[in-house]
Amino acid sequence: MENQEVEMSNSQHSLKWGAILGLISIIIYLVVYLIDITLLAKSGVGIALLVISLAIVIYAGRDYRSKLGGYMSFKDAFLHAFIVFVLAGFIGTVFNYLLFNFIDPEIVPVLIEAQMTNTMKAMEAFGGGSTDMMDEMAVKMKESYTLTGQATSFLWALIFYAIGALIVGAINKKKDKEEEF
């Protein structure tokens, strides 16, 4: 019975923090959107969002561990983090789809152009790329903003959420020394 209460509490706590992280992600996206939407095409912004997300999920896991009395198994820590990542990612994906397809569909060509510019700079550093290859990449980038493209990206992101949850789970687990004996 106690295990079911912990699992129920884990689900509730992780859903709460997943929603919080999802809303924080939306706020960050909106701020970047208002400042300069092309910043979303820069890798530095993506890295900053990743670091912020990891920090929030670690904090959420520590909060949950403290509610459990200061101890949490790796399994519970992993599941908690994974649910937080998945829910926040789903919220972000839905928001992105709405932003790119309904709120301001005119930003898609701007983002594609910024992504192409960044890609061309990187390719030039490694010896360049063909025009046909660049045209093909532009088509694929445009497809990534559709419902199918957003859904596919979310499914691929599940792998990264699992990896992130493994890392956060390892950071947040803490065994009770008294239970070991």
How far is Cα 25 from Cα 88, in angstroms, rounded to an integer?
Answer: 8
How far is Cα 80 from Cα 165, in angstroms, rounded to an integer?
Answer: 8
pLDDT for position 95: 97
pLDDT for position 127: 73
Residue pointed to by tokens 């928001």: 95
How far is Cα 33 from Cα 64, in angstroms, rounded to an integer?
Answer: 33
How far is Cα 159 from Cα 168, in angstroms, rounded to an integer?
Answer: 14
Work out whether the CA dihedral 140, 162, 83, 55 comes out positive or negative. negative
Judged by DSSP in three states, 174 sits in: strand
Collect contacts of 40-45 with beta carbons under 8 A, ≥24 apart.
40/111, 40/114, 41/111, 41/114, 41/115, 41/117, 41/118, 42/114, 42/118, 43/118
User: b/e string for 102-117 if b means 16 or more Cβ within 10 A?
Assistant: eeeeebbeebbebbbe
pLDDT for position 124: 77
Residue pointed to by tokens 């670091």: 51
Per-residue pLDDT of the chain (181 residues; tens, 9 = 90+): 445 555 558 899 999 999 999 999 999 999 999 999 999 888 899 999 999 999 999 999 999 999 999 999 999 999 999 999 999 999 999 999 999 999 999 999 999 999 988 888 877 777 766 677 778 888 899 999 999 999 999 999 999 999 999 999 999 999 987 765 5
| In the chain, domain spans | 2-174
How far is Cα 83 from Cα 165, in angstroms, rounded to an integer?
Answer: 9
Residue pointed to by tokens 């992504």: 115
Q: What is the pLDDT of residues 43-76, one digit of tens each?
A: 899 999 999 999 999 999 999 999 999 999 999 9
pLDDT for position 121: 83
pLDDT for position 9: 82
pLDDT for position 129: 67
